[in-house]
C-alpha cells in the first residue's frame, strides 16, 4: 500500500481526499496497489462528523518523520508556510503534488532541483488550468518538438466577466458584482481582474516550455478593469471578442511574455472559450497547433488533477517525473518590441488629429458609437504605437491590443 498525506484541508484538500477515496479502485488498478491517505494536516478544527476527521494531525513533523508516507499533497495555498513545508517533505525524500501556482511560480526551480537530487517528483499539474492536463503534455508528450508559443485563457473569473459583458452588454461593475455573488471573484478581486493570477500561470508555462526560470514580476501584466461595454460594441463590429490572454512566444531568439486583454477574431479557437472555462493554445514547430480546454478551477476538477499527480508519483517510485526548468534566469524581451495591431478610440472631434498622426498606418472604423471614432492600426511595434499616440494620450478613450 502507498501511503500519502495531504497538507491543508480546505476546499481543494478535501476534494483531493474525496477523489483518492472515491476512485480507490480505479487508482489501485493503475498503480498496481492501493493508495491511501494516512494523514491530513489541518490546524483549524475539522468537524467531528467529517468522514476523515480521525486522520487529521496538527504537526507537519508527524508527516515528515513518517517513513511510510511517500507522497505528500500540498493544497494550503500561498507560500507561507507552504514553501517551507514542501521543501521539508522533498528533503525527507517524499514526492510532492501541489495545486499552488504562487508556490510554483516563485520557488519552482529550487523545488524541482531538490526533487531531482532526492530522486522524487515535484508535480504541479493543477497549478495551471485547474483540471486541464497541460503541464504533463508539455513535460511528457510534446517532447520531440520546439514549442514556439503558448497562449492561454488562464483565469476563469475574468473570462466569466468578459463573456457576460459580451453576451449581455452588461457593464464591468455589474458583472464583477455578479462574479462576486457567485463566488468566482474574491471580495478583493485584484488578483483576478488585474491579471496577477494569469501572470503566475503563464510564468509557470513559460518556464516549463523554454526551460529557464521566469520571474513573474517581470511579465508585463494588464488586467481587464479598463474594458467597458463600449469596447464590447466595437469588438462585435469587428467580428471579434475580448479575452484576457496570457501569452509567451519565441521570436528571433528571444522569449516575450505578456498578460493583457486582446481583441481576438471570432474564428480563433480560443474565442469559443467562454464562461469560467479555460483554454490553452500551444504552437509547436512540427506539431502545429494544439488546443487544451476545460475547467480551470473548481474543487473536483482541480482535485482530480492533483490526484493524477499522486498516481504519477505512485507509479514511478525512485524516479523524478517532472524535469521542469533550471534556475537559470530567463531574460524576457522588452514588451515595447512586441508587434501587434491596436484598436483605439477617440472622440469624433479628435479623429482628424489621429488621421494626421497615423496617416495610412491606421484605419478609421464606420461609426459604432455616436460622437466617437474607432481606429485599427496596422501591425506595429508597441514602441511605435506609444510614440504615435504620445501627444494624444489623454484623448485615447481606450486602447486594446489585437491578437
Ligand atoms: N481565481 C482563479 C480563476 C482560480 O478565476 O481562474 C483558479 O486558479
Q: Over the stretch 323-333, which tens digit does the pLDDT of each residue have?
A: 899 999 999 99
Residue positions annotated with a catalytic role: 201
Nearest atom within ligand 1 for CA of residue 302: 7
Which residue spans within 266-394 are E strands per DSSP?
277-284, 288-295, 339-340, 342-347, 362-364, 372-377, 380-381
Do residues 152 and 403 lie in contact, with contact meaning Cβ atoms separated by under 8 Å?
no
CATH assignment of the domain containing 214: 3.30.360.10
Asked whether residue 329 is domain-assigned, the answer is no
Residue where one domain finishes, among candidates 315, 344, 369: 315
> Does 278 lie in the same domain as 304?
no
> Does 215 lie in the same domain as 71?
no
> Does 117 lie in the same domain as 244?
no
Residue whose CB lies within 8 A of the most ligand 1 atoms, among 198, 205, 296, for a mutation test: 296
Asked whether residue 95 is domain-assigned, the answer is yes
Residue 363 Cα to ligand 1 middle (Å): 37
Asked whether residue 328 is domain-assigned, the answer is no
CATH assignment of the domain containing 373: 3.30.70.120
Residue whose CB lies within 8 A of the most ligand 1 atoms, among 98, 127, 244, 297, for a mutation test: 297
DSSP H or E stretch at residue 168: helix 156-168
> Does 372 lie in the same domain as 253?
no
Give residue-wise pLDDT tens across range 39-84. Answer: 999 999 999 999 999 999 999 999 999 999 999 999 999 999 999 9
Nearest-CA neighbor of 309 among 148, 149, 122? Answer: 122
> Does 46 lie in the same domain as 91?
yes
Nearest atom within ligand 1 for CA of residue 186: 1
Residue 389 Cα to ligand 1 middle (Å): 34
Residue whose CB lies within 8 A of the most ligand 1 atoms, among 156, 184, 191, 276, for a mutation test: 156
Q: What is the four-CA torsion angle of 215, 220, 223, 229, rounded to 10 degrees?
A: -160
In degrees, rounded to 5, the angle at the alpha carbon of residue 241 between the alpha carbons of residues 237 and 247 is 140
Cell numbers placing 400:
486594446
Q: What is the pLDDT of residue 300?
A: 97
Residue 192 Cα to ligand 1 middle (Å): 7
What's the domain count of the chain? 3
Q: What's the whole-number average pLDDT of the chain?
A: 97
**Domain, as residue range, for 200:** 138-295
> Does 279 lie in the same domain as 145?
yes
Q: 8 pLDDT band (50/70/90 cuts)? A: very high
Rounded CA gap, 310 and 284, in Å?
A: 28
Residue 103 Cα to ligand 1 middle (Å): 15
Which residues' Cβ are closer than 6 Å to ligand 1? 130, 155-157, 192, 197, 296-297
Residue 295 Cα to ligand 1 middle (Å): 10
Q: What is the CA radius of gyration of the chain?
A: 23
> Does 230 lie in the same domain as 105?
no
> Does 123 lie in the same domain as 11?
yes
Provide the 3-class DSSP secondary structure of residue 252: coil
> Does 347 lie in the same domain as 289?
no
> Does 165 lie in the same domain as 126?
no
Cell numbers placing 62:
508527524
Residue where one domain finishes, among candidates 315, 346, 373: 315
Q: 348 pLDDT band (50/70/90 cuts)? A: very high
> Does 291 lie in the same domain as 231?
yes
Asked whether residue 167 is domain-assigned, the answer is yes
Q: What is the pLDDT of residue 260?
A: 98
Residue where one domain finishes, among candidates 315, 344, 377: 315
Rounded CA gap, 371 and 383, in Å?
A: 28
Nearest atom within ligand 1 for CA of residue 192: 1
Rounded CA gap, 378 and 354, in Å?
A: 14
H helices of 1-64, where? 11-22, 24-31, 60-64
Nearest atom within ligand 1 for CA of residue 297: 7
Q: What is the pLDDT of residue 285?
A: 96
Grid cell 503558448 is found at 150
CATH assignment of the domain containing 74: 3.40.50.720
Mean pLDDT of 183-206: 97
Asked whether residue 278 is domain-assigned, the answer is yes
Asked whether residue 175 is domain-assigned, the answer is yes
Asked whether residue 330 is domain-assigned, the answer is no
Q: What is the four-CA torsion angle of 221, 226, 229, 230, rounded to 10 degrees?
A: -110
H helices of 239-316, where? 299-315
Rounded CA gap, 185 and 217, in Å?
A: 22
DSSP single-letter state for residue 26: H
Give residue-wise pLDDT tens across range 223-279. Answer: 999 999 999 999 999 999 999 999 999 999 999 999 999 999 999 999 999 999 999
Do residues 376 and 385 lie in contact, with contact meaning Cβ atoms separated by under 8 Å?
no
Rounded CA gap, 25 and 31, in Å?
A: 10
Asked whether residue 326 is domain-assigned, the answer is no
Question: Whose alpha carbon is nearest atom 2 of ligand 1?
Answer: 155
Nearest-CA neighbor of 122 among 71, 193, 196, 58? Answer: 71
Q: 291 pLDDT band (50/70/90 cuts)? A: very high
> Does 12 lie in the same domain as 38?
yes
Rounded CA gap, 332 and 151, in Å?
A: 16
Amino acid at each position: 500500500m502507498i501511503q500519502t498525506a495531504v497538507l491543508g484541508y480546505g476546499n481543494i484538500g478535501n476534494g483531493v481526499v474525496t477523489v483518492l477515496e472515491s476512485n480507490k479502485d480505479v487508482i489501485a488498478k493503475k498503480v498496481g496497489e492501493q493508495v491511501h491517505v494516512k494523514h491530513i494536516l489541518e490546524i483549524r478544527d475539522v468537524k467531528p462528523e467529517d468522514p476523515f476527521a480521525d486522520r487529521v494531525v496538527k504537526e507537519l513533523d508527524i508527516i515528515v518523520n513518517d517513513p511510510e508516507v511517500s507522497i505528500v499533497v500540498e493544497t494550503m495555498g500561498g507560500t507561507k508556510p507552504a514553501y517551507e513545508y514542501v521543501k521539508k517533505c522533498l528533503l525527507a525524500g517524499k514526492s510532492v503534488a501541489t495545486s499552488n501556482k504562487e508556490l510554483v511560480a516563485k520557488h519552482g526551480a529550487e523545488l524541482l532541483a531538490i526533487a531531482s537530487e532526492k530522486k522524487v517528483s515535484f508535480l504541479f499539474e493543477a497549478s495551471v488550468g485547474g483540471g486541464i492536463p497541460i503541464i504533463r503534455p508539455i513535460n511528457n508528450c510534446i517532447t520531440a518538438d520546439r514549442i514556439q508559443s503558448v497562449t492561454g485563457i488562464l483565469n476563469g473569473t475574468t473570462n466569466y466577466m468578459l463573456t457576460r459583458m459580451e453576451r449581455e452588454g452588461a457593464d464591468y461593475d455589474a458583472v464583477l458584482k455578479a462574479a462576486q455573488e457567485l463566488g468566482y471573484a474574491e471580495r478583493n478581486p485584484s488578483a483576478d481582474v488585474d491579471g496577477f493570477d494569469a501572470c503566475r500561470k503563464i510564468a509557470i508555462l513559460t518556464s516549463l516550455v523554454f526551460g529557464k526560470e521566469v520571474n513573474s514580476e517581470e511579465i508585463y501584466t494588464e488586467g481587464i478593469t479598463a474594458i467597458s461595454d463600449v469596447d464590447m460594441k466595437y469588438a462585435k463590429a469587428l467580428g471579434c471578442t475580448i479575452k484576457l490572454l496570457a501569452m509567451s512566444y519565441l521570436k528571433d531568439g528571444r522569449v516575450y511574455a505578456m498578460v493583457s486583454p486582446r481583441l481576438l477574431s471570432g474564428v480563433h479557437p480560443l474565442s469559443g472559450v467562454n464562461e469560467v472555462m479555460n483554454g490553452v493554445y500551444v504552437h509547436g514547430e512540427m506539431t502545429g497547433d494544439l488546443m487544451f480546454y476545460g475547467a480551470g478551477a473548481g474543487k473536483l476538477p482541480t482535485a482530480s488533477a492533483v490526484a493524477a499527480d499522486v498516481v504519477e508519483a505512485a507509479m514511478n517510485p525512485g524516479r523524478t517525473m517532472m524535469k521542469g526548468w533550471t534556475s537559470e534566469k530567463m531574460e524576457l524581451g522588452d514588451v515595447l518590441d512586441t508587434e501587434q495591431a491596436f484598436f483605439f478610440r477617440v472622440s469624433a472631434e479628435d479623429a482628424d488629429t489621429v488621421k494626421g498622426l497615423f496617416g495610412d498606418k491606421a484605419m478609421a472604423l464606420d461609426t459604432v458609437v455616436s460622437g466617437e471614432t474607432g481606429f485599427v492600426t496596422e501591425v506595429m511595434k508597441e514602441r511605435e504605437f506609444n510614440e504615435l499616440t504620445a501627444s494624444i494620450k489623454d484623448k485615447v478613450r481606450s486602447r486594446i491590443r489585437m491578437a
